[in-house]
Amino acid sequence: MKRNARGDGHYTCILCNESFGFFNHNAHECHGCSKFVCNKCGVDTINQQNETIWFCKICSEMTEILKKSGASYYEVKQQLESIHHSM
Ligand SMILES: [Zn+2]
Ligand SMILES: [Zn+2]
């Protein structure tokens, strides 16, 4: 898996470095790593409370892999945070 983070995840998309600017509604906070991604680099999903949550593509892929390995929610979240911190 490529870990090509180019943006800062705050003012620009963590993955493609698209600038969000002010009042940009294409920015979504990743539920896994708390970085911001644009529409193209994020994946929206529905959680157990039926709310729409967003993941960046890296966290989305990792979540699928970890869920299949039987990891708990907290283990998944810890893994996602450690991945992004090491980028
Ligand atoms: Zn992007
Ligand atoms: Zn993420």
> How far apart are alpha carbons 69 and 15 in whole angstroms?
25
**Model-level pTM?**
0.76
> How far apart are alpha carbons 22 and 56 in whole angstroms?
20
Q: Looking up tokens 């963590």, which residue turns up?
A: 14
Ligand 1: centre distance to CA 49 (Å): 26
> How far apart are alpha carbons 13 and 35 in whole angstroms?
8
pLDDT 10s digits, 59-69: 999 888 998 99
Collect residues with CB below 5 Å from ion ligand 2: 30, 32-33, 56, 59
Question: pLDDT-derived band of residue 1, with 50, 70 and 90 as boundaries?
Answer: very low
**Domain covering 1-87, topology:** Herpes Virus-1 (3.30.40)
Residue 4 in this model has a pLDDT that exceeds 70: no
Report residue 48 as tokens: 């157990």
Q: Which residues contact 35 (CB under 8 A, 6 or more apart)?
A: 9, 10, 14, 29, 56, 84
Ligand 2: centre distance to CA 3 (Å): 11
